[in-house]
Amino acid sequence: MKSQIPNPKSQIPSGLFDVKDRIVVITGGMGQLGRQFTLALADRGAKVAVFDVAVEQKKIADRYGDRAADERIAFFDVDITGRPGIEKALAAVVEKWGVPHGLINNAALDSPPDAPASENGPFETYPEASFDRVMKVNVKGTFLCCQVIGGAMAREGRGSVVNISSIYGMVSPDQRIYEYRRKDGETFFKPVAYAVSKSAIYNLTRYLATYWAPKGVRINTLTFAGVFNNQGEEFLKEYCPRVPLGRMAREDEYNGAVVFLVSDASSYMTGANVVLDGGWTAW
């Protein structure tokens, strides 16, 4: 009987983490992490299509500087909550470079700390409109990009989808972090919608991992903790002791995992959740 175990010597590719000439779509590519993912892949020879509602020349220049003219990076004004816009942008990518090899679903909304009081108030009065807005981008947008871009990759019989989630999709936000704000008289709680939306990503990943496995498309989740972005000292004083590594992530510290999942180094990985959180969920 023929062995079902592949010959390891014949299966290991020479460029294990090579992403050269791979075409990758990154949603939310104008954001803090999206920019990092774009540059990390482009610097390794990938061709990166940035999909974002913030794509306009001044913002591109501000975010990417001289790299905006890089022939390996292209920018597309896309609202991922509408299928026609995604389809139009994908058609442009295909015409320019070909069918993507990778999709990184990075675009997401959260309520910022300076959001209206109603958004950062008690759960019982959290606005329905705010919930709908976050779910529309974080869940529906990811779903639609998977349908359109992931579907195109499935028809080609190859590809890798990376869905970006958060520790707050795995565990509840620690509301004690914000006690310093409540002591100052604010009614402040980390809102519910972001956590619910990021939790939904896990089963979208698992569903598509099994659904697309026969088509050669892999799909995995990356779960991140907080990234340093000039947060205030009071917040850092409360947040960082809750991380075993004792600090927030640098904005470049997730790039390795993204390259890993887009490359053949992760060729036998699908349906997984890769956690990079400084140990937050290990307590």
Tens digit of pLDDT for each residue in 165-194?
A: 999 999 999 999 999 999 988 889 999 999
Selected residue with higher pLDDT from 88 and 3: 88
Tens digit of pLDDT for each residue in 190-231?
A: 999 999 999 999 999 999 999 999 999 999 999 999 999 999
Selected residue with higher pLDDT from 16 and 141: 141
Q: What are the backbone dihedrals phi and psi of residue 267, each rounded to the nearest 5 degrees, phi first?
A: -60, -20
Domain boundaries, the chain: 18-278
Report yes or no on whether pTM surpasses 0.85.
yes
Let me know: does 220 contact 164? Beta carbons within 8 Å: no
**CATH number belonging to domain 18-278:** 3.40.50.720
Q: What angle do CA 196, 279, 29 make, to 5 degrees?
A: 55
In what order do the strands lie in the sheet containing 47-52?
73-77, 47-52, 23-27, 102-105, 159-166, 217-224, 273-276
pLDDT above 50 for 10: no
Tens digit of pLDDT for each residue in 89-142?
A: 999 999 999 999 999 999 999 986 667 888 999 999 999 999 999 999 999 999
